[in-house]
Amino acid sequence: MATRAQTPRAPRKKREPSPTRNSPRAAAEATSKGNGSQPKPNSGKRNAKTASAIEFDRANHRPALITPEQLEKLIATLINDGFEVIGPTVRDEAITYDPVKCVADLPAGWTDEQEPARYRLKKSDNPALFGYSLGAQSWKTFLHPAEARLFAAEKQNGAFHILNNDPIPAVSRALLGVRACELAAIRAQDRVLLGDKYRDPIYGSRRESALIIAVQCSHAAATCFCVSIGSGPKVSDGFDLLLTELVDANGHRFVVEPGTDRGIGLLARVDAKPALEADLAAVESALASAAQQQRKLDTAGLKEFLYENFENPQWDKISARCLSCANCTMSCPTCFCTTVDDATDVTGTHAERCRRWDSCFTQSFSYIHGGSIRTSAKARYRQWMTHKLAAWTDQFGSLGCVGCGRCITWCPAAIDITEEVRAMREGGVRADA
Amino acid sequence: MTAAAAQFDAMVPSACVLKQVTKETPDTFTLAVARENGSGENAFAPGQFSMLWVFGVGELPISISGDPSKHDELVYTVRSVGKATHALVSQKPGTEIGVRGPFGHGWPFQAARGHDVIIVAGGIGLAPLRPMIYEVFQNRAEYGRLVILYGARSPRELLYRKELAAWARQPETQVLVTVDYGGIGWHGHVGVVTTLFKYARLHPARSVAMICGPEIMMRFVTRQLQEHGLQEQNIYLSMERNMKCAAGFCGHCQYGKHFICKDGPVFPYAEIAQLLDKYEL
Ligand SMILES: Cc1cc2nc3c(=O)[nH]c(=O)nc-3n(C[C@H](O)[C@H](O)[C@H](O)COP(=O)(O)OP(=O)(O)OC[C@H]3O[C@@H](n4cnc5c(N)ncnc54)[C@H](O)[C@@H]3O)c2cc1C
Ligand code: SF4
Ligand code: SF4
């Protein structure tokens, strides 16, 4: 996406607690936030030198090569520039995106096994840092947070005023290890939260200040189907830097392509060398092996098919298994739905309005006076799948599914969106049903 | 909060003083709200709605029911059906409530000019249609006949009774009212709103119909209108779904491929005809 080659934002400085933050709760938050972000004084200037609003021409830039040591330097450089670097780590026996300070924080020598309702991390002989596929969590945690305060307000004598209406996060983040399908998911959320009539400032501020270091996959989980969707494994745009990790007789190294001027600036600062033809050939073969995928989703005419099959016995079969637990929607990187909660303090004079992720699998989601619209699990699953694979195309011009497979892995009932579509299309009965 | 900040963040309400609360029926109240910061921002189109926030309680989508040519205040008619609406209608004049909006696409008043206008409302559904009725009377020469068909559960649940009577006395205007249960002292029509069609003087070929009420009522009314020969493209409906943001972010108001908040709440019948019959959509 050309528009991403934009002026980088200087990581924000420590925020001044607003003078209107006078409740104990708001004051406590202001303090903890202030302590949390350590600004770097001259970071903005250095970034500004490489800033460019013009379209970035990738063809002009040969891929570079860096070693794990240079990756270490890249992370240090980003941290020095004031970024919080978020990358994959191992937590609770799963890959989780967390702040990383150095290469040692990354999951070296781990790979994963994924099946419907099954996820296992296991050790491998390969020392690769990115040798696994996706965990349950996606980057929406950082761009479209699970919980965000819309505003706080103070009331006095029947009148109120809005406090600290500042949705901008205290720190800019560098997202390290964003896979092709996840970039597609970020683009999908861009269209929902930025691309229409209104712009969501909570998402927008995080999105625009984020620096993206994408990683191309060299292995696919059994649940992946990005090839069917056309969202991967090759990364085409939307990144500052794009890494492909290679581990072979020529050593452990990363082919790096810049996608923005900011990316070029970073490469220069870690003394990246040009990549060799052999390295580029190795990237292609890594991608080819990631493109070997077990799962497929036939997207041809899918929208019309689902609209026409609002009534189909397969919905009943799915709903007999679906627990309406909402795991699929929470783990899905494109699902964007939210609800809001209002709360006041004990005096009733300080109110807050918070937004939280919501799921179309809950009854309350469709509640209007008189009762919920979608009372049955069948209607809720149908809403979810029809939105992902049909309505989304009408609404935003692309599928709402990027083929990441998370909903398959993390569904406790092992419901597989690709299988359900296939079964419905074939009109037959599933082997295990 | 400044106006610029309000524009920047569609999710943050502006504080507006509640001027007046008028009881319409035992459970329905009309609220007049003034904006602190000038009149220009109050411009709205008939059929649009606002998000009204009661401090610390909750926020609700409520249609603007006032006169679109009056810019000093925003008027809403609210039926108290639960916690948030009850809190809203219980606010005392002089307190502030939060207002976001106006949101959505309203009634197609421009397209309706040069036509007869048929208004069909059920219950609180008359509230979002009242600005359209004002629009017709203000630009009377632009429109043909105005026919208002209105149904409520009982005589005491009729909204805007004085206005209904006044509208009925206007030239080129027919107002028909019915109730489900009449009771002693009611001499008007009894029955669902569709029973009024046999008394209505309609010229279907030159009419535009605008409907708001319970979904089941709208299904029957659209059928009746088509049986009377109204063209599908001249029928418009206002839809309701759960709504948390009104800006297309929260996902709650999806109705097939539509977001009711930004694509609606008013839809041409042809756009949603396929969806109206779908149960649990
Ligand atoms: C576009 C539009 C215009 C409307 N115009 C009017 C109007 O002019 N007058 C009027 O009286 N009513 C109108 N409504 C309906 C009104 O918004 C609901 O009656 C009201 O939200 C019910 O809230 P409650 O808490 O009082 O009811 P309850 O039935 O007690 O609801 C309980 C909770 O459910 C949630 N909830 C219920 N309905 C909705 C909803 N539609 N959206 C979001 N959350 C909901 C609320 O969080 C509420 O706290 C409109 C609705 C829409 C979508
Ligand atoms: S629907 Fe499932 S496979 Fe598709 S993007 Fe969401 S979680 Fe991934
Ligand atoms: S499909 Fe699976 S993950 Fe999604 S709600 Fe049903 S049981 Fe939960």
Model confidence at A371: pLDDT above 60? yes
Model confidence at A16: pLDDT above 90? no
CA A282/CA A105 separation, integer angstroms: 26
Closest-approach residue (CA) in chain B for A371: B242
Q: B120: closest CA among B36, B183, B197, B201?
A: B197
Residue pLDDT, tens place only, A291-318 = 998 899 999 999 999 999 999 999 999 9
Where is mean pLDDT largest: A28-32, A35-39, A285-289? A285-289
Closest-approach residue (CA) in chain B for A161: B15
Model confidence at B96: pLDDT above 80? yes
The residue type at A149: R
Integer angstrom CA distances of residue A312 from A305, A340, A385, A406, B258: 11, 34, 13, 25, 22
Q: What DSSP string describes B187-209?
A: -SEES-GGGGGGG----GGGEEE
Residue A312's φ and ψ, nearest 5 degrees, are -155, 135
Bigger pLDDT: B70 vs B30: B30
What value does the mean pLDDT take over residues A11-36?
36
Q: Would you kindly state where each structural domain of chain A is located, as residue ranges?
A: 20-36+44-146+167-290, 302-338+358-427
A193 vs B contacts (CB less than 8 Å): 249
Residue pLDDT, tens place only, A355-364 = 999 999 999 9
- Report the half-sphere exposure of B110 (CA within 13 A, side-chain side): 3
What local confidence, expressed as pLDDT, does residue B9 receive?
76
CA A342/CA B116 separation, integer angstroms: 45
What value does the mean pLDDT take over residues B65-94?
93
Specify the CATH number for B109-276; select among 3.40.640.10, 2.60.40.420, 3.60.150.10, 3.40.50.80.
3.40.50.80
Q: Among partner residues B10, B15, B242, which is closest to A367 by beta-carbon distance?
A: B242
Helix, strand or coil, per DSSP, at residue B273: helix
Q: B265: closest CA among B240, B231, B244?
A: B240
CA A299/CA A288 separation, integer angstroms: 21
CA A329/CA A323 separation, integer angstroms: 13
Ligand nearest to the CA of B213: 1
Q: B249: closest CA among A335, A425, A47, A238?
A: A335
B101 contacts B29 by C-beta, under 8 angstroms? no
What local confidence, expressed as pLDDT, does residue A26 receive?
36
Q: Would you kindly state where each structural domain of chain B is located, as residue ranges?
A: 3-103, 109-276
With CB atoms and an 8 Å threshold, state whether A369 touches B1.
Answer: no
CA A200/CA A182 separation, integer angstroms: 20
CA B87/CA B67 separation, integer angstroms: 24
* Strand arrangement of the beta sheet that strand A350-357 belongs to: A159-163, A147-156, A350-357, A338-344
What value does the mean pLDDT take over residues B124-134?
97
Model confidence at A175: pLDDT above 80? yes
Tell me how far the alpha carbon of residue A278 lies from the centroid of ligand 1, in angstroms: 63
Helix, strand or coil, per DSSP, at residue A156: strand
Which residues does ligand 3 sit against, CB inside 6 Å?
A: A 322-328, 361, 411-413, 415
What value does the mean pLDDT take over residues B181-197?
92
| b/e burial code for range A161-181 (CB count within 10 A of at least 16 → b) | ebbbbebebbbbbbbbbbbbb
With CB atoms and an 8 Å threshold, state whether B96 touches A310.
Answer: no
Tell me how far the alpha carbon of residue A398 lies from the centroid of ligand 3, in angstroms: 23
Across the A:B interface, residue pairs with CB atoms under 8 Å apart total 117
The residues near A20 (Cβ < 8 Å, ≥ 6 apart) are A154, A161, A163, A164
Measuring from atom 28 of ligand 1, which residue has the nearest CA? B82
Percent of chain A's residues with pLDDT above 90: 77
Tokens 């500004």 correspond to: A48
Cβ of residue A375 closer than 8 Å to a chain B Cβ = yes
Cβ of residue A373 closer than 8 Å to a chain B Cβ = yes
With CB atoms and an 8 Å threshold, state whether A391 touches B256.
Answer: yes
Model confidence at A419: pLDDT above 90? yes
Specify the CATH number for B3-103; select among 3.30.70.260, 2.40.30.10, 1.10.238.10, 3.40.50.2000.
2.40.30.10
What local confidence, expressed as pLDDT, does residue B41 receive?
59
Tokens 């088509």 correspond to: B226
Q: Picking from A179-183, B42-46, B111-115, which range would have the lowest pLDDT averaged per residue?
A: B42-46
With CB atoms and an 8 Å threshold, state whether B94 touches A368.
Answer: no
The residues near A407 (Cβ < 8 Å, ≥ 6 apart) are A327, A328, A329, A331, A332, A415, A417
Tell me how far the alpha carbon of residue A40 lies from the centroid of ligand 3, in angstroms: 44
CB-based contacts of A78-82 (< 8 A; 24+ apart in sequence): A78/A174, A78/A211, A78/A266, A80/A40, A80/A43, A81/A11, A81/A40, A81/A43, A81/A46, A81/A47, A82/A10, A82/A11, A82/A38, A82/A39, A82/A40, A82/A43, A82/A171, A82/A172
- For A20-36+44-146+167-290, CATH number? 3.40.640
Model confidence at B23: pLDDT above 90? yes
Q: How confident is the model at residue A405 (pLDDT cuts 50, 70, 90)?
A: very high
CA B207/CA B226 separation, integer angstroms: 12
Model confidence at B120: pLDDT above 90? yes
B235 contacts B225 by C-beta, under 8 angstroms? yes
Q: Mean of the per-residue pLDDT values for chain A?
A: 86
Percent of chain A's residues with pLDDT above 70: 84
A237 contacts A1 by C-beta, under 8 angstroms? yes
Closest-approach residue (CA) in chain A for B85: A369
Tell me how far the alpha carbon of residue A381 lies from the centroid of ligand 3, in angstroms: 8
B45 contacts B106 by C-beta, under 8 angstroms? yes
Q: How confident is the model at residue A196 (pLDDT cuts 50, 70, 90)?
A: confident
Percent of chain B's residues with pLDDT above 70: 95
What local confidence, expressed as pLDDT, does residue A41 receive?
36
A169 contacts B30 by C-beta, under 8 angstroms? no
CA A191/CA A175 separation, integer angstroms: 20
Q: Picking from A58-67, A187-196, B218-227, which range would have the lowest pLDDT averaged per residue?
A: A58-67
Measuring from atom 2 of ligand 2, which residue has the nearest CA? A407
Measuring from atom 21 of ligand 1, which residue has the nearest CA? B60
CA A37/CA A10 separation, integer angstroms: 13
With CB atoms and an 8 Å threshold, state whether A192 touches B249.
Answer: yes
Ligand nearest to the CA of A359: 3
Percent of chain B's residues with pLDDT above 90: 87
Closest-approach residue (CA) in chain B for A200: B9
What local confidence, expressed as pLDDT, does residue A48 receive?
36
What value does the mean pLDDT take over residues A83-105?
97
- Looking at CA atoms only, how far is residue A333 from chain B in angstroms? 15
Candidates A165, A166, A357, partner chain B, best to mutate (most B CBs within 10 A): A165
Q: How far is CA A313 from the centre of its chain?
A: 34
Phi-psi region of A67 (alpha: psi -120 to 50; beta: other; left: phi over 0): beta
Q: How confident is the model at residue A55 (pLDDT cuts 50, 70, 90)?
A: low
Q: Which token pair is A31?
A: 């303090």
What local confidence, expressed as pLDDT, does residue B183 receive?
87
Where is mean pLDDT largest: A344-348, B179-183, B263-267? B263-267
